[in-house]
Amino acid sequence: MKEFRRVKDLRKQDFTPTRLDFGPVEFYIARHFGFCYGVENAIEISYKAIEENPDKRVFLLSQMIHNQEVNNDLQGRGIKFIMDTDGRQFIPWDEIGRDDVVIIPAFGTTVEIESLLLDKGVEVQKYNTTCPFVEKVWNRAEKLGKENYTVIIHGKPKHEETRATFSHSAQGAASVIVRDMEDAKSLGDYILGKKSKEDFFEEFAWKHSEGFDPERDLQRVGVVNQTTMLATETQAIADYFRQVMIEKYGADNLKDHIADTRDTLCYATNDNQDATYELLETDADFAVVVGGYNSSNTSHIVELCERKFPTYFINSDSEIKSASEIHHFIYEAKRKAVTSNFIPQKDKVKIVLTSGASCPDTLVDRVMLRLLEFFPGTRPVEDVIAAL
């Protein structure tokens, strides 16, 4: 189905969902969902590392991607994780040596960790799976630093990618992290002189680069992001700082105080999010979003779907226990929940189905097939796909 849509729309101009009509149930499948290039590349390199080093210990700095099924498979093949996604150590650094293989995940890593591995004699580039779009953000941050801009990073402060981007950015530029628009507006108050320098160091503790001076370093800014954040939110934050600079310095001087960084937004994240907006135009009864519960990009798809539909965030088909019970994750509350009678009793049920960029397509297949079990008299999958 994905290949059919790709060939039919090579320029990616049609973001409407694919409609699969099985008779008593109809699915709206997002135009773009599942693995992006960066994730596919990272997984391919990881399996290659295992195959090429049968007699060596193979480590991952942390989870390859935020999908438990993929990570479990890698661990089952012998890969060990050095730390968790928050940076807590599982394996001490002094147990890692030059003869070991260390894979850098798609999120990238900090300059400090890369230097530590190099000092140990570990070859870090051979199996470095850092996503090209993450590296693009790093390169843009470096350029901003050279042009004397402070880098504002829109991201989740504890997320591996944000930690890596902050580390790279801080090498050559004053840098500060904002999680959301609330953080951005607070930072705007410091730009406008509405809050004191002392308050800044308390409010943005450990979220700014060493030696940061809010009076000096917030005169020229550029916004980059953790690539899995909502693109619309990143743009809204950049637009907000644009207005702040107009208020402080005037529209005629705007170019001297804010950089245009729209080119750093990840196309895959944008495509998945744009496809989700199109799902909101349907008249579905509920939505199912498949992905890892700690996946940032998946959580944003859930957030969008929740604007219109009852939405169930699951990590696999095993969470669908029966036609009357689904186990799912409440992302905001960070807890599991059980919902009964989630399938409405009606002649034709319409379901939105999509997934995050770290979710294998096979999981989406399994979820759809599991849901089809609850609808007697459905048309065969082969016939529905052939009718596309």
pLDDT at 4: 86
Q: Report long-range pairs for 278-282 (Cβ below 8 Å, ≥24 apart).
A: 278/15, 278/16, 278/17, 278/30, 278/31, 279/17, 279/28, 279/30, 279/305, 279/352, 279/354, 280/304, 280/305, 280/307, 280/308, 281/16, 282/17, 282/28, 282/350, 282/352
Same domain membership, residue 140 and residue 102:
no
Q: How many domains does the chain have?
A: 3
Confidence band, pLDDT 50/70/90 cuts, at residue 199: very high
Confidence band, pLDDT 50/70/90 cuts, at residue 296: confident
Q: What is the CATH number of the domain that holds 358?
A: 3.40.1010.20
- Name the residue type at position 297: N
Same domain membership, residue 73 and residue 158:
no
**62 and 85 in contact (C-beta within 8 Å)?**
yes
Location of structure tokens 């050559």: 172
pLDDT at 115: 97
DSSP 53: -
Q: pTM score > 0.95 for this model?
A: no
Confidence band, pLDDT 50/70/90 cuts, at residue 69: confident
Q: Does 126 map to a domain?
A: no
pLDDT in tens, 248-265: 999 999 999 999 887 676
Confidence band, pLDDT 50/70/90 cuts, at residue 62: confident
Confidence band, pLDDT 50/70/90 cuts, at residue 208: very high
Q: Does 128 map to a domain?
A: no
Same domain membership, residue 300 and residue 377:
yes
Mean pLDDT of 80-93: 89
pLDDT at 202: 96
Query: What are the residues facing 312 on neighbouring strands?
Result: 288
pLDDT at 31: 95
pLDDT at 71: 84
Q: Does 349 map to a domain?
A: yes
Confidence band, pLDDT 50/70/90 cuts, at residue 270: confident
Please report, for residues 40, 275, 367, the alpha-carbon distance to residue 354 in angstroms, rounded to integers and kept in the order given: 18, 9, 10
Highest mean pLDDT among 62-66, 270-274, 323-327: 323-327
Same domain membership, residue 306 and residue 189:
no
Size of the chain in residues: 388
pLDDT at 210: 97
Give the residue from 67, 89, 119 where a domain finishes. Answer: 119
Q: Does 23 map to a domain?
A: yes
Same domain membership, residue 138 and residue 255:
yes
Question: 209: domain range?
Answer: 133-265
Q: What is the CATH number of the domain that holds 66?
A: 3.40.50.11270
In angstroms, the CA 232 to CA 243 distance is 16
Mean pLDDT of 344-364: 93
Q: Cβ–Cβ contacts within 10 Å for residue 235, how many?
A: 16
Same domain membership, residue 230 and residue 209:
yes
Interior angle at CA 90, CA 84 and CA 92, nearest 5 = 130
DSSP 149: P
Give the residue from 265, 299, 329 where a domain finishes. Answer: 265
Catalytic residue annotation: 161
Q: Does 235 map to a domain?
A: yes
In angstroms, the CA 42 to CA 65 distance is 8
Confidence band, pLDDT 50/70/90 cuts, at residue 371: very high
In angstroms, the CA 344 to CA 374 distance is 12
Mean pLDDT of 327-339: 94
pLDDT of residue 84 exceeding 70: yes
pLDDT in tens, 110-120: 999 999 999 99
Same domain membership, residue 139 and residue 223:
yes
Please report, for residues 188, 190, 198, 350, the alpha-carbon distance to residue 193 in angstroms, rounded to integers and kept in the order given: 9, 5, 12, 52
Q: Does 125 map to a domain?
A: no
- Name the residue type at position 296: S
Give the residue from 208, 243, 265 where a domain finishes. Answer: 265
In angstroms, the CA 296 to CA 229 distance is 7
Same domain membership, residue 214 and residue 259:
yes
Mean pLDDT of 203-219: 97
**342 and 288 in contact (C-beta within 8 Å)?**
no
In angstroms, the CA 104 to CA 82 distance is 11
In angstroms, the CA 27 to CA 20 distance is 5
Please report, for residues 1, 9, 159, 284, 316, the alpha-carbon distance to residue 29 in angstroms, rounded to integers and kept in the order given: 10, 16, 29, 11, 16
Ramachandran class of 148: left when φ > 0, alpha when ψ lies in -120 to 50, beta otherwise: left
Q: Cβ–Cβ contacts within 10 Å for residue 192, how many?
A: 13
Query: CA gyration radius for the chain?
Result: 23
Same domain membership, residue 245 and residue 162:
yes
Q: Does 115 map to a domain?
A: yes
Same domain membership, residue 138 and residue 55:
no
pLDDT of residue 67 exceeding 80: no
Q: Does 309 map to a domain?
A: yes
pLDDT at 222: 97
Same domain membership, residue 284 and residue 256:
no
Same domain membership, residue 279 and residue 176:
no
pLDDT at 263: 64
In angstroms, the CA 140 to CA 148 distance is 12
